[in-house]
Amino acid sequence: MGLSEAKVLVIVGPTAAGKTTLAIRLGQRFGGEAISADSRQVYRYMDIGTAKATREEQAALPHHLIDIVDPDEELTLAHYQDLANAAIEQIWARSRLPILVGGTGLYVRAVTEGWTVPEVAPDLALRERLQREAEQQGVEALHSTLATVDPLAAQRIDARNVRRVIRALEVYYKTGAPISNLQSKDPPGYRLLKIGLTMPREALYARIDARIDRMIAQGLENEVRALVARGYGYDLPSMSGLGYQQIGQYLRGEVSRDEAIALIKRHTRRFVRQQYNWFRLTDGAIHWFDANQLDERAVDDLVRTWLA
């Protein structure tokens, strides 16, 4: 069965909106399997801070593309895209429903829109040089360099997203062509149903704060200590993720424990605002539901009608 025949259910929305819970319920009801579209949940040993599906949740519904690389390994967007497409094909071939679920808009759109991603091997020395430039001259200066060589990419990439700025510059320096020229779209032809979860911003912020408090209670600090004990340094991209970076600052004595927790909450709120830039409430292709008072029957009817 070809990919173009596959139906794929997509569940998107900001962090802490309840995407995993909804995916499990719909997966059990309609015979599905989840494919994670989360750029942090790909890492092994990083469970609490990434809000990874628990063992019980993964037992309730098969999850794919979780725990596939070590924290010191890189998973490129192109590689993720290949793995996700393969998972969709395998799930659909078993007469099951692929459910792409997650809050990493880059991953979701690369798969559903069929992005052609430049295959440029990482140049660690170049990345280190650009990282030093960002630290010494500021992220805005590095972003300004990108704007000079690739204005379109600079328009799309937030200056604070240093990793993506560096990647765009890396592609330009290695190929001589702007990354925006090399990126194109070749939609795979999946028949998609996109469901989005949202809620009033203050309610979402309260839910985020409660989730972070649970992460601390569940042992996020010990998780970070264990990663360092395994030899994973604070300078790794994986360790710059929400929660890990701030707890690392605390463990190095740079901030107090309370300050670290406050920073996690503040930066997660900022991250939510970035997520809404990827998943716009005005996107007519996404059926939005209020996660605070989710109408499960309406969601079920929507999926059932689409499958029929």
Residue 233 belongs to domain with CATH number: 1.10.287.890
Q: Please give the C-alpha separations between residue 29 and each of 33, 96, 106, 301, in angstroms, as whole numbers.
A: 11, 11, 28, 12
Pair (194, 207) in one structural domain = no
Report the alpha-carbon distance of residue 215 to residue 198 in Å, rounded. 22
Q: Which domain holds residue 149?
A: 124-182
Number of compact structural domains in the chain: 3
Is the pLDDT assigned to residue 4 strictly greater than 70? Answer: no
Report the alpha-carbon distance of residue 237 to residue 167 in Å, rounded. 12
Q: What is the pLDDT of residues 162-215, one digit of tens each?
A: 888 999 999 999 888 888 887 778 888 899 999 999 999 999 999 999 999 999
Q: What is the pLDDT of residues 87-133, one digit of tens each?
A: 999 999 999 999 999 999 989 999 999 988 777 878 889 999 999 99
Share of the chain above pLDDT 90, in %: 79
- CA Rg, the chain, in Å? 20
pTM recorded for the entire structure:
0.86
- pLDDT confidence bin for 3, thresholds 50/70/90: low
Q: Name which residue leads in pLDDT, 274 or 146.
A: 146
Report the alpha-carbon distance of residue 88 to residue 164 in Å, rounded. 26
Q: Pick from 247, 126, 102, 241: which is nearest to 175 by CA? A: 126
Pair (195, 207) in one structural domain = no
Pair (190, 263) in one structural domain = no
Lowest mean pLDDT among 22-36, 59-73, 109-123, 162-176: 109-123
Is the pLDDT assigned to residue 1 strictly greater than 80? Answer: no
Pair (245, 111) in one structural domain = no
Q: What is the pLDDT of residues 277-306, one digit of tens each?
A: 888 877 789 999 999 999 999 999 999 999
Pair (54, 190) in one structural domain = yes
Pair (142, 167) in one structural domain = yes
Written as six digits, the tokens of 233 are 């340094």
Pair (17, 73) in one structural domain = yes
